[in-house]
Structure 1
Amino acid sequence: MEPFRLIIGPDDNATALQLSARAVILFAFGVLCIRIAGRRTFAQYAPLDIVVALIACSNISRVMTGKAAFFPALSATLVLVILHRLLGHATLHWGLLSWLVKARPIKIIEDGEVDDEALRRAELSREDMLEAIRLEQVENPEDVAAASVEGSGKVSVVPKNTR
């Protein structure tokens, strides 16, 4: 343990070279955590995923700058990432847990009709909704068969068949 401590330095007074060594080690640790957590954690941006990502990044940042003890902070981060992964697997098997943890989609357009109440529930302005459908290459809500605000916050759009 002493040779490793020499490389990373003390938690309260590390040199620039030791902080650089921490950065390299933490980069590798971060990649390992992402691999353990799976691509869902950092790709879909569901609320739970964002919270886990923020906490993990915050912990790693504090370790790199010497504001937190190296091994205890890495242990806590790894526990958090593994817990997140286990929770993700558990939601596949238990519907009630999935319902509690995951956000549900909100249908905002059906057969060209905009549901203003659904827009309010999704906290989406009409201008934001119009932008979202334009990003899917649809100009007007009347040309949309269905559109929903997904659990990740992204708006999915199914255009009407124009043939």
Structure 2
Amino acid sequence: MDWLEVLFGPDQGTPNTAQFCVRALLLFFYGLLCIRVAGRRTFSDLSPLDILVAIVVGSNISRAMTGKAPFVPSLVATSLLVVLHRLVAMATVHSNWLAKFVKGEPTVLVRDGVVDRSAMRLHQLSEDDLLEGLRMEQAGAIEDVALATVERGGKISVLKK
């Protein structure tokens, strides 16, 4: 293990410039590997689980690079988290209750031109937020909407009349 300390620097203390560069190089490729293992959806329409994993992976990589956390154990723990994320994502395909827990459920905001105010409060959406979502989907007015839904990723989808 002495060669690891020579290459990556001490777990406690400050690595030298060359060791920081070696850490940065390895962590760059390690971060790319984590993103590939976690899958593309981790950084598209983010679910709460996706957001959590993205934040923790970024934090772990940062702490490992700066020497604020032990290098190899940080990589192992981060790898475990990414693999666990992938396994949970695969399990949600086969389990509706797990998918609802992890990803949430879509909520109807507008049906046949009538706004559901309780659904808007539930998602902390103002009338301006709703109108913005409708405009982004090319719907000019609430009366033109057959169905508007807050999808699991937080985006408002619209079916026009």
TM-score by length of 2: 0.93
Aligned to 2:50: 49
In the TM superposition, what is the alpha-carbon distance from 1:102 to its structure 2 partner?
2.0
The share of aligned pairs that are identical, in percent, is 50
In the TM superposition, what is the alpha-carbon distance from 1:4 to its structure 2 partner?
4.1
The reply on whether 1:9 has 2:9 as its aligned counterpart is yes
1:5-154 counterparts in 2 under 5 A?
5-11=5-11, 12-154=13-155
3-state SS of the aligned residue for 1:119?
helix
Say which is worse superposed, 77-86 or 117-126, in terms of deviation: 117-126
In the TM superposition, what is the alpha-carbon distance from 1:13 to its structure 2 partner?
1.5
Would the aligned equivalents of 2:47 and 2:102 in 1 still touch at CA under 8 Å? no
The separation in 2 between residues aligned to 1:120 and 1:69, in whole angstroms, is 44
Cα distance per residue 1:124-161 (max 9 Å; x no partner): 1111111111112222111122111111111111222x
The separation in 1 between residues aligned to 2:94 and 2:125, in whole angstroms, is 32
Between the two proteins, the alignment pairs up a number of residues equal to 160
The amino acid across from 1:118 in the alignment is: A
In the TM superposition, what is the alpha-carbon distance from 1:6 to its structure 2 partner?
2.3
The amino acid across from 1:10 in the alignment is: P
Cα distance per residue 1:24-53 (max 9 Å; x no partner): 111100110111111111211111110111
- What's the RMSD between the two structures over aligned residues? 1.4
The amino acid across from 1:5 in the alignment is: E
Aligned to 2:160: 159
Would the aligned equivalents of 2:64 and 2:70 in 1 still touch at CA under 8 Å? yes
Would the aligned equivalents of 2:134 and 2:158 in 1 still touch at CA under 8 Å? yes
The amino acid across from 1:92 in the alignment is: V
3-state SS of the aligned residue for 2:10?
coil
Say which is worse superposed, 16-25 or 118-127, in terms of deviation: 16-25
Cα distance per residue 1:4-32 (max 9 Å; x no partner): 43232222210122212211111100110
